[in-house]
Amino acid sequence: MLKIYNTLTGKKEIFTPIEEGKVGMYVCGNTVYDYCHIGHARAMISFDVISRFIRHLGYELNYVRNITDVDDKIIKRAEENNESTQALTERMIAAQREDELRLGNKMPDREPKATEFMQEIIDMIQVLIDKGFAYHGASGDVYYRTEAFKDYGKLNNRKLEDMLAGARIDVEAAKEHPADFVLWKQAKEGEVSWASPWGAGRPGWHIECSAMSTNCLGSHFDIHGGGPDLKFPHHENEIAQSEAATGKDYVNYWVHCGAVRVNNEKMSKSLGNFFTVRDVLEKYNPEVVRYLMVSSQYRSAIDYSDQSLNEAKVALERLYTALRGQAAADRYEPTRFTERFEAAMKDDFNTAVAVSVLFELVRELNKAKAEDANQAEQLAAELLVLADLLGLLKQDPEYFLQNSTVSQGLTEDVIQALIDERTQARKDKNFARSDEIRDELAAQGIELLDSREGTTWTRS
């Protein structure tokens, strides 16, 4: 039986889906105003592994992860860059997908953008107003009335007054209570905005996820995930909005991954220890970064440093060395290693223990290589299948062992993803983006060859 640690209850619980055989999972994605950093990578990889294993257990999973593409930070950055918010967000979304593909992630089933759900957001705000859970303030903004929701604070197991102590909360004269939060912001002159019953404006951050998740997965769904910094206020506010609007329980299992620290300090631009995924992949093979992320259980904090990455590289090289020159059987009979691997993953997706099982399997494989060729092929096949559930051992062993430190250009998956995006851009007559992708690939030594049958590529 699969057990999941539920932040809402503070304990591991046996997972029971709302609908037998099916799972709905929503994960809070990024606000796309800058490149992804390694903290984002931790969350993206954690929920990629979770989604892989849920599917491995036979569930039909609907994995939804949103994109926040309208926000104060986006507007400010677009102004600084002298570009439109749409141009900025499209560029950052494309960069995020490229980073993810390089890290070995599979894409979610659906990635709704906030700007695509504006009417649903407005409708939900109106319902909250009609029910007395929201009000139109004197400032022109619409606020959520936190005192009206009696269960406010249940995710963090704290009372409203306790959560206010020491918290950074805007105190505005237009608010009825200091903890009330904005649902709809009145637009300033020249800002991107949408028409609403309360004037031109844009949604607050929290309401976006309530509207997108309930529209994509229904008013009540199985799993909601995100980073550790989202528990309060974002996820607390999501619960208050969603349950007040629908009158139903919102989510059964709340799942939060651990933070990434840099040399035991919080990652921060002001401390000079802030690293984007692209920074890191300049020095390390993407799979080394992924190994570092999955070598700890997803709820654990990870200490990022050159030392930890070098240790991850050495460990991953041990796994690849066992596969160097070793054939793998097309079919194999699962052994005790599969049983122990699955048991670890069923215990709240404990990848740390699962990885240790891979090394035990490798020891057995190395022994079999000298004694029993057939058994070695069986074990090699088992190793590849189990590692795939973690997104590992996806490269040719010889290639990885030659390139485990410095990333050597774009992977084939990334190249194909960019070609697919370029093909769609040409269909949409977005020739500027089409040419931009061609130039980006050319700069990486990738030459595109167009024909009636499609587009192929070669490395120049």
Q: What is the CA radius of gyration of the chain?
A: 24
Residue 458: per-residue pLDDT: 64
Least-confidence region, from 139-153, 157-171, 198-212? 157-171
Instruction: Evaluate whether residue 352 is within a structural domain.
Output: yes
| Contact criterion met (CB below 8 Å) for 10 and 157 | yes
Q: In the predicted model, is pLDDT for residue 186 greater than 80?
A: yes
Percent of the chain residues topping a pLDDT of 70? 95
Annotated binding site for ATP: 269
Mean pLDDT of 216-234: 97
Kind of pairing, strands 201-203 and 181-186?
A: antiparallel
Mean pLDDT of 197-211: 97
Instruction: Evaluate whether residue 273 is within a structural domain.
Output: no
Instruction: Evaluate whether residue 251 is within a structural domain.
Output: yes
Domain that holds residue 361: 316-402
Percent of the chain residues topping a pLDDT of 90? 82
| Contact criterion met (CB below 8 Å) for 38 and 280 | yes
170: confidence class by pLDDT, cuts 50, 70, 90? low
Mean pLDDT of 161-172: 63
Instruction: Evaluate whether residue 64 is within a structural domain.
Output: yes
| Residues 132 and 166 grouped into a single domain | yes
Mean pLDDT of 442-449: 80
| Residues 419 and 390 grouped into a single domain | no
b vs e for 283-294, b when ≥16 Cβ sit within 10 Å of the residue's Cβ?
A: ebbbbbbbbbbb
Q: In the predicted model, is pLDDT for residue 394 greater than 70?
A: yes
| Residues 74 and 194 grouped into a single domain | yes
| Residues 22 and 170 grouped into a single domain | yes
pLDDT single digits (tens) 117-149? 999 999 999 999 999 999 999 999 999 999 999
Residue 459: per-residue pLDDT: 54
72: confidence class by pLDDT, cuts 50, 70, 90? very high
| Residues 156 and 254 grouped into a single domain | yes
pLDDT single digits (tens) 9-39? 999 999 999 999 999 999 999 999 999 999 9
Instruction: Evaluate whether residue 86 is within a structural domain.
Output: yes
Q: Which of 213, 232, 260 is the last residue of a domain?
A: 260
DSSP state of 413: H
Mean residue pLDDT of the chain comes to 93
Q: Which of 190, 225, 260 is the last residue of a domain?
A: 260
Q: In the predicted model, is pLDDT for residue 403 greater than 90?
A: no
Instruction: Evaluate whether residue 300 is within a structural domain.
Output: no
Beta-bridge partners for 142:
136, 184
| Residues 28 and 124 grouped into a single domain | yes
Q: Which amino acid is at 194?
A: W
Q: Which amino acid is at 59?
A: Y
Instruction: Evaluate whether residue 175 is within a structural domain.
Output: yes
402: confidence class by pLDDT, cuts 50, 70, 90? confident
Annotated binding site: 28, 209, 234, 238, 269
Rounded distance between C-alpha atoms, residue 228 and residue 301, angstroms: 10
pLDDT single digits (tens) 75-122? 999 999 999 999 999 999 999 999 999 999 999 999 999 999 999 999
| Residues 338 and 396 grouped into a single domain | yes
Residue 406: per-residue pLDDT: 56
Residue 413: per-residue pLDDT: 78
Q: Which of 422, 326, 339 is nearest to 374 (CA)?
A: 326
Least-confidence region, from 31-45, 298-312, 443-457? 443-457
| Residues 353 and 325 grouped into a single domain | yes
Residue 407: per-residue pLDDT: 43
| Residues 122 and 177 grouped into a single domain | yes
Q: In the predicted model, is pLDDT for residue 374 greater than 50?
A: yes
Q: Which of 260, 275, 300 is the last residue of a domain?
A: 260
Rounded distance between C-alpha atoms, residue 243 and residue 323, angstroms: 51
Q: What is the CATH number of the domain that holds 341?
A: 1.20.120.640
Instruction: Evaluate whether residue 268 is within a structural domain.
Output: no
Q: What is the CATH number of the domain that holds 143?
A: 3.40.50.620
Annotated binding site for Zn(2+): 28, 209, 234, 238
| Contact criterion met (CB below 8 Å) for 285 and 407 | yes
Q: In the predicted model, is pLDDT for residue 451 greater than 90?
A: no
Q: Which of 311, 262, 258, 257 is nearest to 284 (CA)?
A: 311
Residues 6+ apart with CB under 8 A from 367: none
Domains: count for the chain: 3
Residue 266: per-residue pLDDT: 81
| Residues 381 and 241 grouped into a single domain | no
Residue 4: per-residue pLDDT: 98
| Contact criterion met (CB below 8 Å) for 254 and 229 | no
| Residues 104 and 168 grouped into a single domain | yes
pLDDT single digits (tens) 236-272? 999 999 999 999 999 999 999 999 999 888 887 777 7
| Residues 201 and 322 grouped into a single domain | no
